[in-house]
Amino acid sequence: MNPYIEILRPGNALMGAITIILVAIIDRSFTIPVILAMLAVFFETAAGNVINDYFDYKIDLINKPERPIPSGRISPKSGRNYGYLQFGLGTICGFLISYMTNNWIPFVIVLFADVVLYLYAYKLKSTPLIGNITVGFMTGFGFVFGGFTLNNPNIILISMYLGFFAWVMTTARELVKDIEDIEGDKSEGAKTLPILYGEKITATLAFILIIIDCALCPLLYYNNIFGFYYLIVIAIAVLLFIYSALLIIRNQNRLTASKVSKYLKIGMLIAFVAFIFGSF
């Protein structure tokens, strides 16, 4: 794969853009601002990935040496400038949305995302728990951005429900990833939660967050946000989430943490499918 595509982590960026598609499906509204919102989330997510790789390339020499910057396929300076380009493209999309809809909240949200994503990569990532919560918050914020783009009060409320779900589960996954990356983080003096308080406490917190999210899943049906088909599909995701939670609470080695991180990501994709089925 071309390193300039690989460094974007297009799978993650597309997953972010899917949040807008889900909100649009719920509202049954597909307009040019919606398309621009998808692009904005894609570029902003990609920007966060690239700038994070720029600041973390020394850590990645140990944890992820195959990535474009630590492998030497992209220089740190080129990576940094490429990240700035993604931020710029996302900001332009946010401006166009607000200009077309005469609603400046989406543009403000994109500007806010620019600042938070940069600060996360520069400083917050190495701050115990705050960095994890920040990533979760920004993931959930994609739904909220979609809600304000459509500017429908009911959809804004629903997007906040979905955003909270994504926030909690993503935070849990980020904690698991910290367990996976503990070796490289230690080498660079990072102060992540597992480094400061141990893998067991970190795994326990991730376990609690996963179980809380699983317990909240039925509320989206009982509050009449989604229909019966949602329950059928979300049950698959919940089973995978619970299995992942049990795995990480029993064993916190790097291999297990890597598996759990992948399972949680798959579970979230299944949950997104449940949101779509529940809208019919």
**Cβ atoms of 5 and 131 closer than 8 Å:** no
If you average pLDDT over every residue of the chain, what do you get?
Answer: 89
DSSP 168-210: HHHHHHHHHHHHHTHHHHHHTT---HHHHH-HHHHHHHHHHHH
Q: What is the pLDDT of residue 39?
A: 95
pLDDT tens-digit readout, 80-100? 999 999 999 999 999 999 999
Whole-prediction pTM: 0.83
Average pLDDT over residues 117-143: 85
The residue type found at 76 is P
Q: What is the pLDDT of residue 169?
A: 92
Residue with tokens 């429900």: 161
The answer, yes or no, to whether residue 185 has pLDDT greater than 80, is no
**Cβ atoms of 225 and 204 closer than 8 Å:** no
Of residues 236 and 127, the one with the higher pLDDT is 236
Residue 2: count other Cβ atoms within 10 Å of its Cβ. Answer: 9
Structure tokens at 208: 């609690």
Q: What is the pLDDT of residue 43?
A: 95
Average pLDDT over residues 92-121: 94
**Cβ atoms of 264 and 241 closer than 8 Å:** yes
Average pLDDT over residues 45-69: 85
Average pLDDT over residues 36-51: 94
* pLDDT tier for residue 40 given thresholds of 50, 70 and 90: very high
- Contacts from 253-261 at CB under 8 Å and sequence distance 24+? 254/179, 254/180, 254/182, 254/183, 257/176, 257/177, 257/179, 257/180, 258/180, 260/176, 261/173, 261/176, 261/177, 261/180
Q: What is the pLDDT of residue 189?
A: 66
Q: What is the pLDDT of residue 200?
A: 92
Q: What is the pLDDT of residue 127?
A: 76
Average pLDDT over residues 138-162: 89
Rg over alpha carbons for the chain, rounded to the nearest Å, is 18
DSSP 76-102: HHHHHHHHHHHHHHHHHHHHHHHHHHT
The answer, yes or no, to whether residue 182 has pLDDT greater than 70, is yes
Q: What is the pLDDT of residue 241?
A: 96
* pLDDT tier for residue 188 given thresholds of 50, 70 and 90: low
Average pLDDT over residues 166-184: 89
